[in-house]
Amino acid sequence: MVAMSRQQEYVLRTLEERDIRFVRLWFTDIQGYLKSVAVAPAELEGAFAEGIGFDGSSIEGFSRVVESDTIAKPDPSTFQILPLDTAGGDNQVLTARMFCDIAMPDGEPSWADPRQVLRRQLSNAADEGFSCYVHPEIEFFLLKNGNGPDGRPVPADTGGYFDQAVTDAAPLFRQDAISALESMGISVEFSHHEAGPGQQEIDLRFADALSMADNVMSFRYMVKQVATRNDVRATFMPKPFHEYPGSAMHTHMSLFEGENNAFHDPDDQFYLSGTAKSFIAGILEHAPEISAVTNQWVNSYKRLTSGAEAPTAATWGASNRSAMIRVPMYTVHKPSSRRVEIRTPDSGANPYLTYAVLIAAGLKGIREGYELHPPVEEDVAGMTRRERMAMGYKDLPTDLDLALREMEKSELVADALGEHVFEYFLRNKWEEWKSYQSQVTPWELAHNLEF
């Protein structure tokens, strides 16, 4: 309470000293859309004490109409000034933001709040002596404003992987985006042009899983803001172009026991501890059933089935980018950097729920002592389905329908998400799948209309 009180006092003092006129209170719905309510600084002290009430039945998956009263409680530790939410000239107005925890009127945490879902899994990890750190590589496309003559989006540049050539429509985009993120305390480790025209990647420096989920939501918001100011638009759609690679959110994870990396073993061939191997085995074993969370859109499976280093089966390997889980071998002698890279999540995932199910699966592997099978050395994406079966590899779902069927049977996902989020997520995604199934696509018209 003392620490929280000091954080609150810091926020209130900063609002006054910097003459901040508006504070945006952010939270995330079950699908991962960012929600916001703006309050005046004068109202913030009351918001700290009592929260801000809102109609939860109007937010995707939060509550029913008959129990719609919901409270957003701002978390002062997430306070940051938004660098782009200003007006120029003599009328400059500063805006800040804080993430909120969602609660019910009786003060109990809301079971529908994705932030609380992740916090519960982090609590489970802490009970077993672990803290979890995450480092995502976030890919996305920059697009020109307006579509091409065929109605399709148009990439903002013609660059390729690691190209130095400036982006045609937004030459300073990455520089502007990184400056905006750094000004908010979100550390960027790397950035570069990805393989597809217009495709970018920005990697965030590792942080604890809850802070990183908040950072991912801030990242998406800021990237779209910077894109707009560069007269382009940004999309985190997993695969907006059939001919180019999709956009992933490769997620590096590690568990620490105090100051020690629980994944590091200097005597192992891959410098992986038994804890790390069981963590990997847990995620691989439960990969099909968590797929609907890590890859939640119909479009997500266009990326996973198209190759281009996107994983098709639950496999792992050292430095093998066709495997679902890769063990980076850059700095094998540095204990603090020993980590695993999960390559299934895409840039359209809800980071809170994604990290929650990955941690839950990994912890189950540790608790139950899952054995890790030998690493894959072949190009898994280049194999046929029959070849993967012959090798004993477990295929990942190839569409949202199959992913939801796996999720429906999963006790692990139901427990990790909680009954409310689990049931709503399934109901919402089944509706998405049925709506998609009912569409008649241009491909079908082109190939079947003259039959």
- Verify that 21 and 126 share a domain, yes or no: no
**CA–CA dist 440, 433 (Å, integer):** 14
**Domain edge (last residue) among 82, 110, 138:** 110
Q: Is 367's pLDDT higher than 60?
A: yes
- Per-residue pLDDT at 309: 78
- Verify that 271 and 310 share a domain, yes or no: yes
- Verify that 390 and 274 share a domain, yes or no: yes
- Verify that 73 and 174 share a domain, yes or no: no
Question: Is 322 part of a structural domain of the chain?
Answer: yes
**CA–CA dist 239, 237 (Å, integer):** 6
- Per-residue pLDDT at 84: 73
Question: Is 451 part of a structural domain of the chain?
Answer: no
- Per-residue pLDDT at 166: 61
**CA–CA dist 350, 28 (Å, integer):** 9
- Verify that 255 and 377 share a domain, yes or no: yes
Question: Is 14 part of a structural domain of the chain?
Answer: yes
Q: Is 230's pLDDT higher than 60?
A: yes
Give the type of residue at 76.
P
Q: Is 382's pLDDT higher than 90?
A: no
**Domain edge (last residue) among 59, 76, 110:** 110
The predicted model scores a pTM of 0.93
Closest listed residue to residue 232, CA positions, set 154, 169, 163, 323: 169
Domain containing 82 — which CATH number?
3.10.20.70
Closest listed residue to residue 341, CA positions, set 369, 318, 366: 318
238-253: b (≥16 Cβ within 10 Å) or e = bbbbeebbbbbbbbbb
37: helix, coil or strand? Answer: strand
**CA–CA dist 355, 306 (Å, integer):** 24
Residues 79-117: tens digit of each pLDDT: 999 997 654 444 668 899 999 999 888 888 888 899 999
- Per-residue pLDDT at 89: 47
Cβ contact 421:338 at 8 Å: no
Mean pLDDT of 264-293: 96
Ramachandran region, residue 109 (left: φ > 0; alpha: ψ -120 to 50; beta: rest): beta
- Sole residue written with tokens 């139950």: 368
Domain that holds residue 84: 2-110
Question: Is 214 part of a structural domain of the chain?
Answer: yes
- Verify that 276 and 377 share a domain, yes or no: yes
Percentage of the chain surpassing pLDDT 90? Answer: 69
Question: Is 419 part of a structural domain of the chain?
Answer: yes
Residues 141-189: tens digit of each pLDDT: 999 998 888 889 999 988 887 776 566 777 789 889 999 999 999 999 9
Query: In this structure, what token pair is assigned to residue 212?
Result: 């990183």
Mean pLDDT of 199-207: 95
Domain containing 264 — which CATH number?
3.30.590.10
Q: What are phi and psi of 169, to 5 degrees?
A: -95, -20
- Per-residue pLDDT at 68: 52
Cβ contact 184:83 at 8 Å: yes
Q: Is 355's pLDDT higher than 90?
A: yes
126: helix, coil or strand? Answer: helix
- Verify that 89 and 238 share a domain, yes or no: no
The DSSP secondary-structure symbol of 66 reads G
**Domain edge (last residue) among 53, 81, 110:** 110
Q: What are phi and psi of 411, to 5 degrees?
A: -70, -35
**CA–CA dist 73, 102 (Å, integer):** 6
Half-sphere exposure (CA, 13 Å, Cβ side) for 346?
29
Mean pLDDT of 366-395: 87
**CA–CA dist 102, 257 (Å, integer):** 29
pLDDT confidence bin for 58, thresholds 50/70/90: low
Give the type of residue at 5.
S
117: helix, coil or strand? Answer: helix
- Verify that 208 and 336 share a domain, yes or no: yes
**CA–CA dist 257, 217 (Å, integer):** 27
Residue 305: how many other CB atoms lie within 10 Å: 16
CB proximity list for 248: less than 8 A, separation 6 or greater: 137, 139, 238, 303, 310, 343, 345, 346, 347
H or E segment and range at residue 233: strand 232-235
Cβ contact 74:3 at 8 Å: no
- Per-residue pLDDT at 111: 86
Question: Is 369 part of a structural domain of the chain?
Answer: yes
Percentage of the chain surpassing pLDDT 70? Answer: 93
399-416: b (≥16 Cβ within 10 Å) or e = bbbbbbebbeebebbbeb
- 329, exposed or middle or buried, with CB in 10 Å at 0-12, 13-18, 19+? exposed
Mean pLDDT of 68-79: 87
- Per-residue pLDDT at 329: 80
Query: In this structure, what token pair is assigned to residue 135?
Result: 């480092």
**CA–CA dist 298, 147 (Å, integer):** 22
Cα–Cα–Cα angle for 44, 50, 51, rounded to 5 degrees: 65
Domain count, the chain: 2
Give Rg (Cα) of the chain: 22
Mean pLDDT of 240-269: 95
Between 222 and 65, name the one with better pLDDT: 222
**CA–CA dist 59, 423 (Å, integer):** 15
**CA–CA dist 247, 199 (Å, integer):** 8
- Verify that 98 and 165 share a domain, yes or no: no
Between 58 and 365, name the one with better pLDDT: 365
Question: Is 273 part of a structural domain of the chain?
Answer: yes
- Verify that 200 and 331 share a domain, yes or no: yes
Mean pLDDT of 229-241: 95
Instruction: Pick the range with the lowest mean pLDDT from 33-37, 84-88, 398-402.
Output: 84-88
Question: Is 95 part of a structural domain of the chain?
Answer: yes
- Per-residue pLDDT at 228: 94
Mean pLDDT of 385-414: 93
Residue 42: how many other CB atoms lie within 10 Å: 8
Instruction: Pick the range with the lowest mean pLDDT from 169-178, 221-230, 258-267, 357-366.
Output: 169-178
DSSP 422-435: HHHHHHHHHHHHHH
Report the mean per-residue pLDDT for the chain.
90
Cβ contact 135:204 at 8 Å: yes
**CA–CA dist 49, 337 (Å, integer):** 40
- Verify that 301 and 370 share a domain, yes or no: yes
- Verify that 70 and 211 share a domain, yes or no: no
